[in-house]
Structure 1
Amino acid sequence: MPIVRPFLASRKFVSTIGAGTGTGETFAIDATSFTDDTGAAATAFPLPSYYILYINGMVQTADVSTISTTAITIPDGETLDGATPVIVEIVVN
């Protein structure tokens, strides 16, 4: 049986904490508040194999967020400065 190599690619999305809404456990940033790799407005996040969240350029641990195709939830994210950059790198296959 031949070995089939998996296809993996990543997509990057950029926004700021100020684009988020809610407080505490419900703080989230909608996918539509992000721009994609090409600088175009995002309409949704792709379904991830996994994702990496960067807040102010620092990689965050897995317990800091959850993601869906419509938003990324960052509990207590509203406590950060609104100008803080948020980058989500989504790996798809």
Structure 2
Amino acid sequence: MAIVKPFIDSQRFASTIGAGTVDVDDRTFVFADTTPDTGLTAFPTVFASYNLYINGILQLDTESTFDGTTLTIIDGNLQNAGVPILLECTVN
């Protein structure tokens, strides 16, 4: 039986595709490229999971990678620069 930690929180970071850095066809984002929830000063380096929303639509896990310092959107360079993104990290 799994042991569930008693504290679970969600941290959100908003941006637009155009704020990221182009890396061939991908877009990469660091904390400075986002607008975080109030009080957050960095991406969480330890997290249980993350969700990525592009234009309000939850993306499959094959569409991005996140390592706690950089979010990479696969083929993100193909999106319009004004498209909103939201990174939501579940931390415990």
1:11 aligned onto 2:11: yes
Structure 1 segment 1-93 matched on structure 2, within 5 A: 5-21=5-21, 22-24=23-25, 26-38=26-38, 43-46=41-44, 47-93=46-92
Q: Percent identity?
A: 43
Q: Is the 8 A contact 1:14 1:34 kept in 2?
A: yes
TM-score by length of 1: 0.83
Unpaired runs of 5+ residues, structure 1, are none
**What are the superposed Cα offsets for residues 18-68 of structure 1, whole Å, 9 maximum, x if unpaired?**
0111222x5311221111112x7x643102200110000000011111102
Q: Which runs of 4+ in 1 moved over 4 A?
A: none
1:78–1:6: structure 2 CA closer, same or farther, 3 Å change rule?
A: same
**Higher Cα radius of gyration:** 1
TM-score by length of 2: 0.84
Distance of 2:41 and 2:78 partners within structure 1: 26
Aligned residues: 88
Unpaired runs of 5+ residues, structure 2, are none
User: Per-residue deviation at 1:5?
Assistant: 4.8
Distance of 2:27 and 2:61 partners within structure 1: 16
Q: Is the 8 A contact 1:23 1:77 kept in 2?
A: no
Amino acid at match of 2:51: I
Q: Please tell me the root mean square deviation across aligned C-alpha atoms, in Å.
A: 1.9
